[in-house]
Structures are given as C-alpha cells and as structure tokens.
A = this chain, B = another copy of it.
C-alpha cells in the first residue's frame, strides 16, 4: 500500500493534484488508515500513470475521463478511443500551424530591431500596426 506522497513521487504528480483528481472524480476514493490517511494500491497507481501520461500528450481531463472509461471496458469497440486521439492530433496540428505563423512574425520583428530608441523600435511598431504583419493571426485562445 502506498501513501499519497509515495504515489506522488512514483508518478511525478503533486500531492495536491492527486487530491484534486479525486475531488473531481477522476481518481477513485482510496482506502484510508484508521487515522484517515489515504492508502493506494497498484491499480490506482496504474490509473494515475495513465492520467499523467495522457496529460503529457495534451489530452484534457474530460477526454481522459472518456479514455479511462473505455479502458475500463475492454470488450467495447475501440473506434471511440481512436476518435478521441484523432481529435487531439488535429488540435495539436492546428496549434502548431498557429505557432508557426507567430514564429515567423516574431522573428521578423526581432531581426528588424536596430537597437535604437523605443520611438523607432520595429518591435513596437509592428505591435502598433497589424498591417505590417505578413500573416493573419486572428485567434487568441488555444
């Protein structure tokens, strides 16, 4: 049986985060000692590893909830899991495309800065005037 601290170290998850996952129902309520401290078993270690690994791959907690559910039912068809992963892949690709455009613009800004006064600074000038940009980059979130 593992304490929350041990689980924390083994999975690289902060103690508070583990408790948070329990609170939102992503991790099950573990057993407790007489004094009320949490004790975990290996199934729970595996579950947390799954969650963490999924987070590292960028899945949202909601997506992970679905994936865990699928993982808990090995006889269901797996196209749903596949769909979730494809969705995630698509998102990653969209974000990459956006970042690529941003990088281009930032590089140009930085290269053109001649190191004089802020009044003539190309960086600030570009920020002031979107029409100096080569690309559109409308979306802000994500």
Q: Interface on A for B, CB 8 Å cutoff?
A: 12, 46, 49-50, 52-58, 67, 70-71, 73-82, 84-86, 88-89, 92-93, 95-96, 99-100, 102-103, 105-107, 109-110, 113, 115-121, 123-124, 127-128, 130, 137-140
Residues of the B chain whose Cβ atoms lie less than 8 Å from the Cβ of A70: 118, 121, 124
Residues of the B chain whose Cβ atoms lie less than 8 Å from the Cβ of A121: 70, 78, 81-82
**Across the interface, do A123 and B85 meet the contact criterion of CB distance under 8 Å?**
yes
| A140 in complex: contacting residue of B56, B88, B109, B140, CB < 8 Å | B56
Q: Is the interface of A mostly helix, strand, loop or mixed?
A: helix
**Across the interface, do A77 and B116 meet the contact criterion of CB distance under 8 Å?**
yes
